Amino acid sequence: MNMLKVASVVLAAMAVALPASASVSFSGSSGSRAAAVTFDIVAGKLQVKLDNTSANDVLVPIDVLTAVFFNLSGGAGQLTRFSATADGGTYQGTTLVNPAGTVVGGEWAYAAVSSGSLPGANAGISSSGLGLFGPGDVFPGANLSGPADPNGLQYGLTSVGDNKATGNTPILTEPLTNHSVTFLLTPGAGFSLTQISNVFFQYGTALTEPRFPGGEGGGGPGGGNTPEPATLALLGFSLLAGAVARRKRT
């Protein structure tokens, strides 16, 4: 019984000591294109990390990841724009335009989208207008390039395998961010990650260009939410306590 008491005490201590976090990831691929998005609750904000995970070179505009769409039960109005930051450098051809860590809010937008334009989704984040996003939808931050944003291909995401010296004219002349950007949105009271579903990744500058769904779990369809650290600890110590109990009975 002493061993069981020790296991119980340690279990309770771990539950208190380990910081709880929450995240859910979606990923998908189609041909040479691959993308992932992770939603986290961080310091009371919804953090959204969008990543062009393809290992292939980006040669034409439809290889550039420009948007992620998703459905929010309860509606898109539960979230308000807070910030957008590039995780990789932004390049124009091989020339570095902005380093990693640059605020790119003026180049990306969040807004509600109509179900008629994108069945199954009611919210989206995009660097391109796509006929859905306008200047009034952008995150806080300066307009870093060109006309009022979101606009065209600029500040879309190239792949992790991109060769910056290759590609057609738009790829070599537009400022494009290296594979990842992180957004923060302020959620309304009672918001939960379980409200997010039906994720789609959009490429290029039109809804008629490549788009594919993301499966939950970060490893494709059929995955689940990322476990919280405290949950993992509780599971481990519960198994330990069970093993001790079985040993005492034998």
Residue 229 has φ and ψ, to the nearest 5°, of: -55, -40
SS3 83: strand
Question: How are beta strands 65-72 and 79-86 bridged, if at all?
Answer: unpaired
pTM score, whole prediction: 0.81
- Distance in Å from the first CA to the final CA of the chain: 13
* One-letter identity of residue 72: L
Question: How are beta strands 180-187 and 79-86 bridged, if at all?
Answer: antiparallel
Longest dimension (CA), the chain: 76
Q: How far apart are CA 1 and CA 244, in angstroms?
A: 9
Residue 244 has φ and ψ, to the nearest 5°, of: -60, -45
For each of the chain's 250 residues, which pLDDT tens digit applies? 444 443 343 334 434 333 444 799 999 999 999 999 999 999 999 999 999 999 999 999 999 999 999 999 999 999 999 999 999 999 999 999 999 999 999 999 999 998 788 889 999 999 999 999 999 999 999 999 988 889 899 999 999 999 999 999 999 999 999 999 999 999 999 999 999 999 999 999 999 999 999 998 744 333 333 344 443 343 343 434 444 444 444 4
Per-residue pLDDT tens for 115-166?
Answer: 788 889 999 999 999 999 999 999 999 999 988 889 899 999 999 999 999 9
Q: How far apart are CA 215 and CA 198, in angstroms?
A: 8
**Which residues neighbour 41 within 8 Å (Cβ) at sequence distance 6 or greater?**
21, 22, 23, 47, 187, 193
pLDDT score recorded for residue 148: 85
Q: How many CA atoms lie within 13 A of 250 on its CB side?
A: 6
pLDDT score recorded for residue 146: 81
pLDDT score recorded for residue 147: 83
pLDDT score recorded for residue 20: 44
SS3 43: coil
SS3 236: helix
Q: How far apart are CA 49 and CA 101, in angstroms?
A: 13
Cβ atoms of residues 108 and 124 within 8 Å:
no
The candidate with the shortest Cα–Cα distance to 87, out of 182, 190, 226, 202, is: 182
Using CB atoms within 10 Å of the CB of residue 2, give its burial: 0 to 12 exposed, 13 to 18 middle, 19+ buried: exposed
pLDDT score recorded for residue 110: 98
pLDDT score recorded for residue 174: 97
